[in-house]
Each structure stands twice: as structure tokens, then as C-alpha cells.
Amino acid sequence: MRVKAGSSNSFMRNSFKPAPFHFKSNAGYRPIVAQLLLVEDDAAIRDALIRALSGRGHVVTSTPAAMVALQQVLKTPPDAVLLDLGLPDLGGQEALRMIRSVSAVPVLVITARDGEAEIVRALDAGADDYVIKPFGADQIEARIRAVLRRAEASVPKAGEPLEVGGLRLDARAHEVTLDGVAVDLSRREFDLLHYLTAHAGQVVTRRDLLTHVWRMPYGGADRTVDVHLSWLRRKLGETAQQPRYLHTVRGVGIKLCGPA
Ligand code: CA
């Protein structure tokens, strides 16, 4: 989905002002290669960012449309999203809320509006960080690395037991108890429950699970996930029709939360 050089060039001739973007060399960075989804309708900025970020080893896909971005997040979850707030098809805040409702992917907001209220709204809507245009490639690269580091840090460490309602998962001891009673899980069921518990209260998509539990984002089938979820439900003494912890969010995924 790379921006065509021709269209970009003609756009740049007309309206691209090179001053805001001066992509310096980045000697000294520890390379982190990430899959990035860039959502930006300004072809000149999009093209410049693709070049700068690809040049730093990232794999960048891009789209000018929020709705396409939303589908991409569901289909092939990126490591982080760079989201322009001024998009033609959907308000940036709305796009942000929709992404947040289906995914915990880190979102870095790109905004030309430097009003404090705008930034506060974006952060409230679930943005992880923001950059204000114009910005240099070094700054956005540093912020991408920071959100990726924070996302990594939010993955639970094996030493910290997780508790949701009467459910307790101790990853170090590889033990799960429900209302004080041990639950015997297969390794995959345990990993699945671990991921869901670590993201309690958030909707997790099947693709998220295939990516993070099965580690096969493109090779797996949703059916695989559904079968393991049904086994997990049975061991937790619940069903899809009468859930206690594992709630299906129709057409989107699954959410673990404590019983009401
Ligand atoms: Ca825009």
C-alpha cells in the first residue's frame, strides 16, 4: 500500500514544504524493528514518514482512511499505530475510540492541532502518546520506541500472580485457582487464560490470540481459538451462553472480566 511516487511527487511539488521534515541520520539507535500501521491522508507526510521509518528497518503499511485502518488492526495487528487525527472519513477521536474498542495496540497520535484540549481528548480516548506536526523523524522514532517498550513492559512478568474476581493465575508456579480450587489446564489453555487475564477488561480479538498465544498471526484459523476457548470455559465451569469470566463480544472477540 506504499504511496505511488508519481502522485506523491506531484503533491509535493504543489504543497509539500520540506522545512518541517528533516530526517537526520540516526547513528546510535538500538534498532527495534516493528510492524507499523500509518494512518495519514496527507500524501506528502505519509510518503516522507514511510521512507524515514522504512529506512530505520520498520515495516510500514499505510492507509489514508480510518475505516481501512480499523480493518487492518483486526486482520493483521501491527505492533503500533500512527494515527493522524485529521482524517477525511472519520474524526480522529472517533477512529481512536473504535481502535481502542477492538484492540490494545499502542497508538501514537499525529496531530497538527496543538491545542491542549485536543491532546487531552486523544489521551483520554486511549492514545498512548502524541506528536505535533511538524516533527522530525528522530522524535517520532524515539516515541515509537517508547510506546513499544511500555507495551512490552505491560506484558505480565512471570513472578506476579494475576487476580480477577475469584480467578487467580500464578504464572511462576504455573497454577490457576478458581474460588480457591485448583484448575488443571493444558499448556495452551494456560497461555490463553494468561493472556486474557493480563488484558482483563479489554476486548481481545481472535487475531490477537493467534498472534500472542499461538504466535502465528497469519497461519492460524479462528476455529482453533474457538475450540480452545470452549475447553477453557468448560474447565472454568461456564459456557458461552452463561459466561462468568469469558464474555464473547459478538463479531469482535472475547473479554475477560470478573463476575458482576
Ligand atoms: Ca490529515
Q: Please tell me whether residue 212 adopts helix, strand or coil conformation.
A: helix
Q: In angstroms, what is the span from residue 85 Cα to ligand 1's centroid?
A: 6
pLDDT at 98: 86
Cα of 131 from ligand 1 centre, angstroms: 13
Q: Can you say how many angstroms the Cα of residue 113 is from the centroid of all Cα atoms in its chain?
A: 24
Q: From ligand 1's centre to the CA of 103, what distance in Å?
A: 23
Q: pLDDT of 201-224, one tens digit each?
A: 999 988 888 878 876 655 567 788
Task: Enumerate residue ranges in the chain where pLDDT < 70.
Answer: 1-32, 113-114, 153-159, 215-220
Record the pTM: 0.55
- So what's the pLDDT on residue 113? 66
How many whole angstroms from 173 Cα to the centroid of ligand 1? 49
Q: What domains does the chain contain, in order, with CATH numbers?
A: 2-152 (3.40.50.2300), 162-256 (1.10.10.10)
Angle of helix 137-153 relative to helix 43-55, nearest 10 degrees, comes to: 70
Q: Which residues contact 27 (CB under 8 A, 6 or more apart)?
A: none
Question: How far does residue 163's CA lie from ligand 1's centre (Å)?
Answer: 42
Would you state the cell numbers that stand for residue 92, as one nine-digit string?
480522529
d(CA 72, CA 149): 22
Task: Return the SS3 of 234.
Answer: helix
pLDDT attached to residue 216: 67
- Dmax (CA) for the chain in angstroms is 69
pLDDT score recorded for residue 25: 35
For residue 46, how far is its CA from the centre of ligand 1 (angstroms)? 10
| pLDDT value of residue 223 | 82
3-state secondary structure at position 131: strand
The Cα 108–Cα 111 span in angstroms is 10
HSE-up (13 A, CA, CB side) for residue 235? 20
Distance 240 CA to ligand 1 centre (A): 42
Alpha carbon of 215 to ligand 1 centroid (Å)? 34
Q: Which helix (H) or strand (E) holds 35?
A: strand 35-39
